[in-house]
Amino acid sequence: MNTYDLARGLHILAVIAWMAGLLFLPRLYAYDAEQNAKPEPLKSEMQTLLRLWQTRLLRIIMNPAMILAWVFGLWLIHIDVSARGAAFLAEPWMIAKLAGVFLLSGWHGFLAAQRKKIAAGTSKYSGKFWRMTNEVPFVLAIIMVLSVTTEWTFR
């Protein structure tokens, strides 16, 4: 096993964990928002449970996975730059990949901020919104994975 394969494997594992959280947390938010139509005490009991799950998912799985995905991704870039130079960083496929990483990181930040608003009862988003936006990370993942695996260009 070489260093590149190790870094790539660790990066893939971290991304899988991160993506799982990015896909599941909006679903928990949708369930939380839909509790507003329920009678008490069911509403409060379910929201308390859902908010505990949201917090745990974000803090125990998503945040560490995102950090590790970034660390291992930067390690891969370092290995690649050392081996073949930095020119690949300006290739369209790599720009698309990096743009996707920044967009996913921004979405992660948005989800984290919304958890605080949901906990405070000040979120303005409905269950429908969360269900509609639930697939945003997967669409970005498709673009990023195909970019990296095909290394497409405009030439």
Q: What is the pLDDT of residues 15-34, one digit of tens each?
A: 999 999 999 999 999 999 99
Q: What is the mean pLDDT of residues 48-74?
A: 98
Cite the annotated binding site by residue number: 11, 97
pLDDT at residue 154 is higher than 90: no
Spatial distance between the Cα atoms of 140 and 100, rounded to a whole number of angstroms: 6
Cite the annotated binding site for heme by residue number: 11, 97
Q: What confidence score (pLDDT) does residue 21 get?
A: 98
Residue 155 — pLDDT band, cuts 50, 70, 90? confident
SS3 sequence of 4-62 = HHHHHHHHHHHHHHHHHHHHHHHHHHHHHHHHHHCCCCHHHHHHHHHHHHHHHHHHHHH
